[in-house]
Chains A and B, each alone.
Chain A
Amino acid sequence: MSGRTWSRIGLLLAFAPFLIFCLMFELIPTFALLVGSIGGVERHSFEWIGKVFTNATFQRSILNSLLLAVTSSFLGAVIGTAIGYAITRTRHNRLRGPLIGLASLSANAGGISLGFAFITILGSAGMITILLRQFGIDLMSFFSIYSVIGLIVVYLYFQVPLMIVLMLPAFAALKDDWVEASASLGGSRTDFWRRVGIPVLMPSIVAGTVLLFASSMGAYATAQALIGSRINLMTIQISILRRGEILYQPAQADAMATVLLAIVALSVLAYHIMQRQAQRWTHA
């Protein structure tokens, strides 16, 4: 090793600003939120947490958020995996770079911009709505951008590219040699996928799906820009309770946020566990 020695105190001092920052702005606030959700340490009560699960409006918001997140992450995972596979396999090598670029660019999309962009194409005076009307199709009669289904369409805009980017390393890890090895051992193409392909890809697919689920559970800005408070989602409900234009209930908002945090944090944890499994192949 180097002749340089680092004293314990020196190291501690060097790490101190970062650790203090994380303590003050990540850990303590999260803890304060948990305490807030039970109404403080002294007069603590599980009334608010309980209400998240018993109040009809709050129940509905959880169900809507879950419906939106499960559907959009499932669809995003299936479509993203298919396109990721196509990008890996296509013989048109020149398309690969731009498509990967487009995917990594759009995987970071989201926020208010996305909400407004979709209103201009699928809103009541949107480009596609009017285009379809000219063909005699009344889009508004069976589809509204301001609904859970509408939000699914919007969320797929970042879910699909996110899944593509997450899956590309997994597909790259699927070696051509393995197909040959499987074939020379007498395996059919189906055997290859059943015994090799799917098992190798599965951890990545599950990890990706879970991450898409988490990202859509926690999304707020896109939904807020698109629908205001017209759809009852967890994040929208939190904002209503906290801003209190109609009803100001900070403890209830904290309780709802705590439940959301638990769902998202568990999903991200599951993602990391699955990702570790997947890395057996992608880092090989």
Chain B
Amino acid sequence: MSLMSDAPAVLATQQPAETRQARRGPEIGYLILFVIFTGYMLIPLIGVGLFSVATTWFDTVLPVGYTVDHIVETLNDPLFVPTVGRSIIASLATIAVSVVLMTPVMFLIHVAAPRARPLVEFLSLLPFALPTIVLALSLIRTYSAPPIVLSGTPTLLILAYVVTGLPFMYRALDNSLRAIDTTTLNEASATLGASRWTTLRRVILPNIRTGIAAGALLVFSVTFGEFTLSSFIVGDAWKTSGVWTVAIWDDQPHKTTVMVMIGFLISWIISLVILVGFSKRATVETGQR
């Protein structure tokens, strides 16, 4: 869900609750809740992180010893580069297709065809109502027989990724087009004699770069390491990092946990970039931090 892109808005609307009657009772309850919540969110990560660097660990609370061997072995595994490479290729291709597909449409519903918005919104948010496994089955069903046979190809995987990324791109682009007052910019540009194409390329695009980047990063973090679609659509024929991570669990669980940590690291970095980098304006405006 595109919640990360909503987070800055959440930050911006937070009124510091300077409660008039400072009541001590609930405050302690709040802190207890925070500790439990933070623990619950962090302990699984600590567990998988420790496992990825543990020598032996099966009957002690903490590992007996620590090693970087699993990390080195994972990175040197003959399947590491091909599977991670495929995942990166698929994610980048997804981003490229999504941006090209969505940007003109979003621009137009802001400046020229607001009446098309409900339709575009419906089609873009529809994937939320499609469980991933259902999407996988329906695409296989459709594209494994003529006229169009795509089943088993990375092309279909990428197109499936584009579908799952639609809601993220929609929200990200919509937020940034709203923020820059696209209608006024478009009219100003027209008054100065710029063509539509020039307006989109020279005026609008530079102004919504951060929106596109935020959408692209979100799409990357939901597609990289993805398992369901790749296991159904391409499987072992075009093994992605997600499929590989699951396949090695039974024999080489330490490598699996290294891969899981890599996945977590990527999504943390992306979230940090979005939260810190892109919400700066919003937080400055509300005078926070």
User: Which residues of A line the B interface, CB within 8 A?
Assistant: 1-4, 6, 11, 14-15, 17-19, 21-22, 25-26, 28-30, 32-33, 36, 82-83, 86-93, 95-97, 99-102, 104-109, 111-114, 116-118, 120-121, 125-128, 130-131, 134, 156-157, 160-162, 165-166, 168-169, 172, 176, 211, 214-215, 217-221, 224-225, 235, 238-239, 242, 250, 253-254, 257, 260-261, 264-265, 268-269
Chain A CB within 8 A of B75 CB: no
Taking the nearest CB of chain B, how far is it from the CB of A215, in angstroms? 8
Contact A117 B45 (CB under 8 A): yes
B232 contact set on A, CB distance < 8 A: 239, 242
Contact B134 A112 (CB under 8 A): no
Chief secondary structure at chain B's binding surface: helix
Q: Which of B41, B132, B141 is in CB contact (< 8 Å) with A220?
A: B132
Contact B105 A15 (CB under 8 A): yes
B68 contact set on A, CB distance < 8 A: none
Taking the nearest CB of chain B, how far is it from the CB of A235, in angstroms? 5
Cα(A3)–Cα(B29), bound, Å = 61
A250 contact set on B, CB distance < 8 A: 141
Task: Tell me whether A125 and B58 are in contact in the complex, defined as CB-CB below 8 angstroms, given that A83-B37, A86-B34, A157-B44 are known contacts.
Answer: yes
A131 contact set on B, CB distance < 8 A: 61
- 11 extra interface residue pairs, beta carbon distance < 8 Å, beyond A88-B17, A108-B1, A127-B43: A4-B187, A11-B108, A18-B105, A91-B18, A91-B19, A112-B245, A126-B47, A165-B10, A169-B10, A242-B232, A264-B131
Q: Which of A19, A104, A117 is in CB contact (< 8 Å) with B44?
A: A117
Interface hit among B79-87, B205-213, B260-268: B260-268
Give the contacts of B141-195 with A (CB-CB under 8 A): 141-143, 159-160, 162-163, 186-187, 190-191
Contact A261 B131 (CB under 8 A): yes
Chain B interface size band reads: 35 or more
Chain A CB within 8 A of B38 CB: yes
Taking the nearest CB of chain B, how far is it from the CB of A96, in angstroms? 6
Tell me which of B10, B29, B40, B288 has the highest count of chain A C-beta atoms within 10 A of its own C-beta: B10
Contact B260 A130 (CB under 8 A): no
Taking the nearest CB of chain B, how far is it from the CB of A150, in angstroms? 13
Tell me which of A36, A108, A176 has the highest count of chain B C-beta atoms within 10 A of its own C-beta: A108
Taking the nearest CB of chain B, how far is it from the CB of A197, in angstroms? 14
User: Which residues of B line the A interface, CB within 8 A?
Assistant: 1, 3-4, 6-7, 9-11, 13-20, 22, 26-27, 29-31, 33-34, 37-38, 40-41, 43-48, 50-51, 57-62, 100-102, 104-105, 108, 112-113, 116, 120, 123, 126-135, 137-143, 159-160, 162-163, 186-187, 190-191, 196, 221-222, 225-228, 232, 242, 245-246, 249, 256-257, 260, 263-264, 267-268, 271, 275, 288-289
